[in-house]
Amino acid sequence: MSEAADRPTGTDRPTGTDRPTGTDREATDHEGYDHDVIVVGSGFGGAVAALRLSEKGYRVAVLEAGRRFERAELPATSWNLRDYLWAPRLGLYGIQRIHPLDNVLVLAGAGVGGGSLNYANTLYVPPDAFFADRQWAEITDWREELTPWYEQARRMLGVRINPDTTPADEHLRAAADRMGIGHTFRPTPVGVFFGDGGGADGVA
């Protein structure tokens, strides 16, 4: 099937007659802002969803809390609070959002690109305990369901095992040894081009 044939047309795509009118929707002078789909967030999920929907011919709007950062505007250090932290009440409009919840501390991105602005290229597949969590384990076999997509993401992002060891890594290794869990220290899978001729797709 051709790409054009994949795009929604006719009854497949929402039309003016499908959209709420009259009492169903307040009149507006901003008809130019009418869209088929509104995606909240421009991170990994939102950006891909917006791309695929627009490729199908839908009119898509993406809403993002943060602004667009040019390369030179990205903070070189987390000590640059104005450009690093997202805390509008304090006048900080950086890239790092922090949400302390009861049982977890959530780190998220703020800005065009969302979490891709600060995820450090680290690309783990969750452990078995995640897929078997009782909150969703009965729905399906999530390991089997998601493995093909993890593999596709690994290929597309060029994941490989980090070949470099920094002084910070050595400190982490030493700390793990002192705690008696040195065997758990291992290089991380990252989506980075190191320019050394090494392979990708999870290969060291």
Q: Where are the domains of the chain?
A: 121-204
Quote the CA–CA distance of 169 and 158 in Å, as a whole number.
Answer: 22
Considering only residues 15 and 107, tell me which one the structure prediction assigns the higher pLDDT: 107
> Is the model's pLDDT at 17 over the cut of 60?
no
Q: What is the mean pLDDT of the chain?
A: 85
Q: pTM (2 decimals)?
A: 0.65
State the DSSP string of 10-55: GGGS--TTTS--GGGS---S-GGG--SEEEE--SHHHHHHHHHHHH
What DSSP state is assigned to residue 95? S
Please give the pLDDT value at position 25. 45
pLDDT per residue as tens digits for the range 59-110: 999 999 999 999 999 998 989 998 899 999 999 999 999 999 998 899 999 9
For residues 143-165, average pLDDT: 93
